[in-house]
A = this chain, B = another copy of it.
Amino acid sequence: MSTSQARRGNTRQRIQDVALELFSEHGYDKTSLREIAEKLDVTKAALYYHFKTKEDIVVSLFHDLGKPCDELIVWAEGQPRTLETKKEVLSRYSEALRSAEPLFRFMQENQAAVRDLSIGETFKQRMLTLFGLLREPDTELADQVRCITALFSMHAGMFAMQNLEGDPEDKRKAILEVATELVTAANPPHRRPARPDSAQTDSP
Contacts from A to B (Cβ < 8 Å): 24, 26-30, 106, 108-113, 115-116, 124, 127-128, 140-142, 144-146, 148-149, 152-153, 156-157, 160-161, 163-164, 166, 170-171, 174-175, 177-178, 181-182, 184-185, 203
9 contacts between A and B (CB under 8 A): A24-B112, A29-B113, A30-B116, A106-B112, A145-B171, A146-B178, A152-B153, A178-B182, A181-B185
Q: Would A148 and B157 be within 8 Å (CB), given that A27-B29, A29-B29 are in contact? A: yes
Is the beta-carbon distance between B26 and A141 smaller than 8 angstroms? no
Q: Would A157 and B149 be within 8 Å (CB), given that A29-B29, A30-B112, A111-B109 are in contact? A: yes
Is the beta-carbon distance between A27 and B109 smaller than 8 angstroms? no
Other than the known A148-B156, A152-B160, A181-B203, what 7 A-B pairs have Cβ atoms closer than 8 Å? A27-B29, A27-B113, A30-B116, A149-B153, A152-B153, A152-B157, A181-B185
The residue among A115, A175, A181 with the most chain B CB atoms within 10 A of its own CB is A181
Is the beta-carbon distance between A112 and B27 smaller than 8 angstroms? yes
